[in-house]
Amino acid sequence: MLVAIWLISVCYAGGLTLADPDLWGHTLYGRRAIDQGVLTEQVDPFSYTEPGAQWTNHEWLTEYQYGWLWTQYGNAGLWMWKAALVLVLFLIAGKQIFQTNCSVPAAILLLVFSAFSLSEFAVFIRPQISTFVLLIATLFILRRYWDHPNTKGVYLLPVLTFFWVNLHGGFLAGLGIQGLFLLGYFIRQWKNPTDRSAFLKLLAVHGASWLATLANPYGYRLHAMLWQHLGTEQFVREWQPLWAVHQSPAYYLPFLLIALAVPARKKISGIDILILGVMTALAISHLRHVALLSLAVLILLPVPLSHSLEILFPQLIQSWSKRERCWLRWMLFLGVCSAVFGIQIRGTVHFWKQGIAPWQIAVETNSDSPGVPMQAVGLLKQEQLQGNLLTEYGWAQYVMWQMFPEIKVAFDGRYRTVYSSQMEQNYLAFRRSSEERPISTPLLDEFPTHFVLLSNRNPALRYMNFRSDWRLIFYSEQASLFVRDGEQFQHLKTVLRSDAPSSNRESHWTHFPADPVLAK
């Protein structure tokens, strides 16, 4: 029964797949690195606002994988990458649940609730999934080492860090968890000197892990970029506090599991409280860390949650454990299966009807995020336009995939890995231009910007309509495309495709990479 629940949870967490706004960039960078015979490009070729800027790419190894997989196997290759990592993640979680003799009700809650929560993040193909797997592996190893200091698995941590530092910048979270366990061991050996050898061993492993982070194409420069990135307030949705973003009920499931485990707090060790406390604070502060909290819950709560359910529902647990009540357990099992499968099938059938199989990557083309402006880019291609384009943060890498080198962009999702803080401020100033109505803005007037492509929900659209030196050449329900008025583009006629907005219209979906269909 538990194996079946585990399998259903894996399928739910890794079933549907959408294209993250950065997927075009990640795959493009990997393909270019392979074609050029290098590990990663050191200088940015895509931007016109900071041409030749130093590019500190903390995800180069993941992108190399993306480029190779997409070149060899197309969408199926990228989907298999994600599915394999989700499977490994739940294998580690399942091993922890079974080894700790977690009760059936607790295991069901942990697996199903965590699958719901993680699916909000694992639905996208993105480098963060590597961090999910390596973080849960790190927690699993350290938690076993806490209970059994003689285990040799702790020596794997520097090896994991060696790969992690080149896969995604989330390796800092792994080092942070090592540091928390090291602090716990320091307190423990201070109270009990017999634990000193275990503390010294972990100290050496932690030091080796830090040294392993230098095994990257940039050396210490990577660390400087990441610390600067983390120390700056960001406008990206995933870096906003939990209360400041669209509220999905799934975000709160790991918090609910922690609350359910509170009655058995005596069964929660001090190190677990420390880890969960830090993870909870991070999850509240930044939406993206809700996924990390879900992973911590899978490793740290099987035993406390089992005892807590016995405290909260003693008669129910005792009654359902009897042999003659086997049919009740099967009813629970079938109910959980039906609920999870029902939700998953509903989404899968929706994509099937639009010609997208479960092993393909779905792309939405009718909204601003995570959709892409397929029609507007199709017009740029149709007219064979060349120049510099300012567009949405989440659209720029799609434009790069489709239009580089004819079109270069002003600012994109690589953020501080390429762009300076001043360029970020210039981009934010443009987004605020509808409120302030300035006579000029840096991105429009200090840089050679030829085109502006905006979502119709972008407040800066009102500013563009206010500017008499810019002309609208394309309009749809999704996007508006402007061109700088001048002799260079006088041949362009105003193209108005007025798709009447309709709240009842079903979103249009296609599959990655969403190449525009050009008129003959």
The C-alpha atoms of residue 95 and residue 90 are separated, in whole angstroms, by 8
At 497, the pLDDT band (50, 70, 90 cuts) reads low
pLDDT at res. 505: 42
The C-alpha atoms of residue 125 and residue 133 are separated, in whole angstroms, by 14
Give the angle subtended at the CA of 225 by the CAs of 224 and 230, to the nearest 5°.
Answer: 100
pLDDT at res. 501: 42
Residues 6+ apart with CB under 8 A from 119: 12, 13, 14, 15, 16, 250
Is the distance from CB of 139 to CB of 160 less than 8 angstroms? no
519 by DSSP, 3-state: which? coil
The C-alpha atoms of residue 127 and residue 135 are separated, in whole angstroms, by 13
The C-alpha atoms of residue 184 and residue 186 are separated, in whole angstroms, by 5
Range in 136-145, 340-349, 350-359, 446-455 the model is least confident about: 340-349
Residues 6+ apart with CB under 8 A from 12: 112, 115, 116, 119, 340, 343, 344
Lookup: tokens for 162: 């060696």
If phi > 0 it is left, if psi is from -120 to 50 it is alpha, else beta; for residue 111 that is: alpha
Higher model confidence: residue 57 or residue 340? 57
Q: How far is CA 168 from CA 58, 64, 180, 292, 297, in A?
A: 6, 12, 21, 14, 22
pLDDT at res. 495: 67
Residue 51: pLDDT above 50?
yes
pLDDT at res. 285: 92
Helix axes 326-353, 104-122, angle to 10 degrees: 10
pLDDT at res. 500: 42
The C-alpha atoms of residue 336 and residue 86 are separated, in whole angstroms, by 20
At 502, the pLDDT band (50, 70, 90 cuts) reads very low
At 30, the pLDDT band (50, 70, 90 cuts) reads very high
> Residues 143-200: pLDDT tens digits?
999 999 988 999 999 999 999 999 999 999 999 999 999 999 999 888 777 778 889 9
pLDDT at res. 361: 94
3-state secondary structure 182-219: HHHHHHHHHHCHHHHHHHHHHHHHHHHHHHHCCCCCCC
* Strand ranges of the sheet holding 470-475, from the earlier edge strand across to the other edge: 407-409, 387-391, 451-455, 479-484, 470-475
Q: How many helices (H) and strands (E) does the chain have?
A: 22, 7
Q: What percent of the chain has pLDDT over 90?
A: 68
The C-alpha atoms of residue 121 and residue 255 are separated, in whole angstroms, by 16
pLDDT at res. 231: 65
pLDDT at res. 358: 81
Mean pLDDT of 396-423: 95
Residue 504: pLDDT above 50?
no
Is the distance from CB of 262 to CB of 308 less than 8 angstroms? yes
pLDDT at res. 391: 97
Question: What kind and span of H or E run contains 407?
Answer: strand 407-409
Tokens 């993040």 sit on residue: 121
The C-alpha atoms of residue 41 and residue 33 are separated, in whole angstroms, by 6
pLDDT at res. 519: 58
Q: How far is CA 422 from CA 50, 360, 401, 415, 427, in A?
A: 11, 39, 25, 11, 9
pLDDT at res. 427: 93
Mean pLDDT of 6-23: 91
pLDDT at res. 69: 97
pLDDT at res. 320: 67
Residue 482: pLDDT above 60?
yes
Backbone angles phi, psi at 358, to 5 degrees: -60, -25
Range in 84-93, 123-132, 196-205, 346-355 the model is least confident about: 346-355
pLDDT at res. 230: 73
> Residues 98-150: pLDDT tens digits?
999 898 889 999 999 999 999 999 999 999 999 999 999 999 999 999 999 98
Residue 402: pLDDT above 60?
yes
Residue 458: pLDDT above 50?
yes
At 301, the pLDDT band (50, 70, 90 cuts) reads very high
Q: How many CA atoms lie within 13 A of 333 on its CB side?
A: 15
DSSP 275-341: HHHHHHHHHHH-GGGHHHHHHHHHHHSHHHHHHHHHHHSHHHHHHHTSGGGHHHHHHHHHHHHHHHH
- Say if residue 263 is preceded by a cis peptide, omega within 30 of 0: no
